[in-house]
Amino acid sequence: MAQKSIDHAFTATSLTSTATDPTFAGALSFMRRRFTKDLVGADAVVWGVPFDAATSNRPGTRFGPQAIRRASAIFDNDPQYPFNREIFAEMAVIDYGDCLLDYGNHQETPAAIERQANTILDSGAFMLTLGGDHYVTWPIVKAHAARHGPLALVQFDAHQDTWLDDDRRIDHGSFVARAVRDGIIDAGRSIQIGIRTHAPEDFGIRILYGHQVEEMSAAEIASIVISHTNGAPVYLTFDIDCLDPAYAPGTGTPVAGGPSSAKILSVLQRLHQLDIRGADVVEVSPPYDHADISAIAGATVAMYMLGLRAERRAAAR
Distance, first Cα to last Cα, the chain: 36
- A 10 A CB-CB count for 162 gives 22
CA distance 57 to 243: 17
Question: Angle, nearest 10°, between helix axes 261-269 and 218-229?
Answer: 40
Over residues 116-134, the pLDDT tens digits come to 999 999 999 999 999 999 9
Are residues 136 and 174 in contact, defined by beta-carbon separation less than 8 angstroms? no
Query: What local confidence, expressed as pLDDT, does residue 301 receive?
Result: 98
Please state, for a pLDDT cut of 90, what percent of the chain lies above it.
75
Query: pLDDT tens-digit profile of 191-208?
Result: 999 999 999 899 999 999
Strands 233-239 and 152-156: parallel
Q: Which of 38-52, 80-94, 166-180, 266-280 is least confident?
A: 166-180
Tell me what the mean pLDDT of segment 279-285 comes to.
97
Does domain 8-316 fall under CATH 3.40.1710.10? My reply is: no
Q: Which residues of 193-217 are buried (b: 16+ CB within 10 A; e: fewer)?
A: bbbbeebeebbebbbbbbeebeebe
- What is residue 3's predicted lDDT score, i.e. its pLDDT? 67
pLDDT reading at 25 higher than 90: no
- pLDDT grade for 104, boundaries at 50, 70 and 90: confident
Q: State how far Cα 212 lies from the chain centre.
A: 23
